[in-house]
Chain A
Amino acid sequence: MNVSIIGAGMIPVREHWSKGIRELAAEAARLALEDAGTACVDALYVGNAYGATFNQQTQLGSLIGAELGMNGIEAFTCEAGDASGGVALRTACLAVESGLVRSALVVGVEKATDIVGPARVGARNISLDADLESVNGVTMTALAALMMRRYIYQNNLTLSDFEGFSINAHRNGAVNPCAMYRNKLRDGAFAKAPMIADPVSLFDCAPDGDGAAAVVLVGSDLAADMVPQPVQICASAVATDRFMLQDRDDPLHFEAIGKSFFAALEQAQLGREDIDLLELHDAYTIMTALALEAMGYCLPGAGWTLASDKGSHIALEGDLPVSTFGGLKSRGNPGGATGVYQAVESALQLRASAGANQVPDARRALIQNIAGPGSTVVTHILQRQPDEA
């Protein structure tokens, strides 16, 4: 694609009680615009999943545009549940690639913590099937638990086989100033964590947080003259699966992950071996295991083996770095903002400005944003922009 990131910004994922959704979004947007050295863009695409139920607020495009003083701008929300940030980035890529929009600002934002407990769980449930899942009191965490128990049963595993994913996420999140939980997991802590939906424990699932992240996109030809280190988006692919887990031929096979991943590789004319790091949608440890399988990094049933030895294979210096800024697990899960956080984190990696989270010599990053149990999957591949681009 002829699309590049020229600016990136994010705010820490926290419980931002003193700020509303527009303040969070504007803060991240201003960081990205300042980073890009520009004050105006042609269009604003907002990734947000739960504004309607968390905040009783829709029309975030106009709301945030006005907050930024960009009156009159093309602006609207892109929604696909927890993959909203990813589809907002995808929408911006299409707009810039088409030539109809010269520059685009993508803002992912979620303000989750104004409501707590069952109210928030219920508000999140709008992204599941209302008639056949939510009405039965089913939640996304319950769906993850159903997958995880079946996976453990079929592959004869124990809970501790998943701990490496969380240990790795917290190891990386501990050195990321924007992470929500910057604690490392102590030895043995994973096995003793309280159950949220057995076998999914507190340390299997990511915490909800408030957050906002933003990137500025222009054509790659323009980007080279605007900033010293543009990051090119060389692939963008969205795929969907049968909506509910129960309707899939194999509930442990994420078909849309494979479709979106291989479509992205084909667009970029790359192979798995060309990817230096992965930002996956690790809302639950089982999701990471199944995603690695669907992308062919290992055989079906073997995803958990990549987390062995306390996640040394997927560490920053490992063969296949995953969740390099802590992923959803440690950085936090800011709902519809997640996909844009992934883009910002990858851009920092590819500019070699990731600080303590830096993956040595990172040239290409693959980011994947997922809604529901793999119902919508968005994959982007980013790379250091070659000089001739």
Chain B
Amino acid sequence: MLDQESRDSETQYSRAASQATAKGGTVYSYTLLQEPPLGYESQAPYYVALVELDDGGLVTAQLTDIDGSLQIGDRVEMVTRKLTTDGSQGMIVYGYKFRPAL
């Protein structure tokens, strides 16, 4: 699977997103989303950002643990979080979010 992906240079940034080695980055852009899709209502409003990873590439992800102000260029780090609960069976979907660098 990895070999197949590595042959496809078009997906290199996507792989950076899902298999990033660096956990740190900076906020490239962000927004506070008020109208969530089904399954995300309990979290709304929540921050969504494009994060520029330290080893290159952008990742689309939620920001978490934002208490005060937020600006483009802020340092953030990747953490594992629950993203949503899938359907009536209640399977939990885990993934990555970013929080202010500690």
Contact = CB atoms under 8 A, between A and B. Distances in A.
A138 B48 CA distance: 7
A225 interface: no
Contacts of B49: 146
Interface in B45-61: 46, 48-50, 57-61
A74 interface: no
Most buried by A among B11, B35, B46, B83: B35
Given A149-B72, A150-B29, A200-B31, A245 B36 contact: no
B85 to A, nearest CB: 12
A137 B14 contact: no
A132 B60 contact: yes
A245 B37 contact: no
A82 B5 CA distance: 29
B37 to A, nearest CB: 4
A135 interface: yes
Contacts, number: 121
A118 interface: yes
B72 A246 contact: no
Interface residues of B, number: 37
Interface string A112-142: 0000011101111100000111111111011
Q: How large is the interface on A (under 10, 10 to 19, 20 to 34, 35 or more residues)?
A: 35 or more
B62 A195 contact: no
B6 interface: no
B59 to A, nearest CB: 6
B50 A139 contact: no
A147 interface: yes
29 contacts: A117-B35, A118-B35, A118-B36, A118-B41, A125-B37, A136-B48, A136-B61, A136-B95, A137-B37, A137-B43, A137-B62, A137-B83, A138-B33, A139-B36, A139-B37, A141-B35, A142-B48, A145-B31, A146-B31, A146-B48, A147-B29, A195-B34, A196-B35, A197-B34, A198-B31, A200-B31, A242-B10, A245-B50, A246-B59
Interface of B: 10-11, 13-14, 17-18, 28-41, 43, 46, 48-50, 57-62, 72, 83-84, 93, 95, 97
Interface of A: 117-119, 121-125, 131-139, 141-143, 145-147, 149-150, 153, 195-200, 242, 244-247, 251
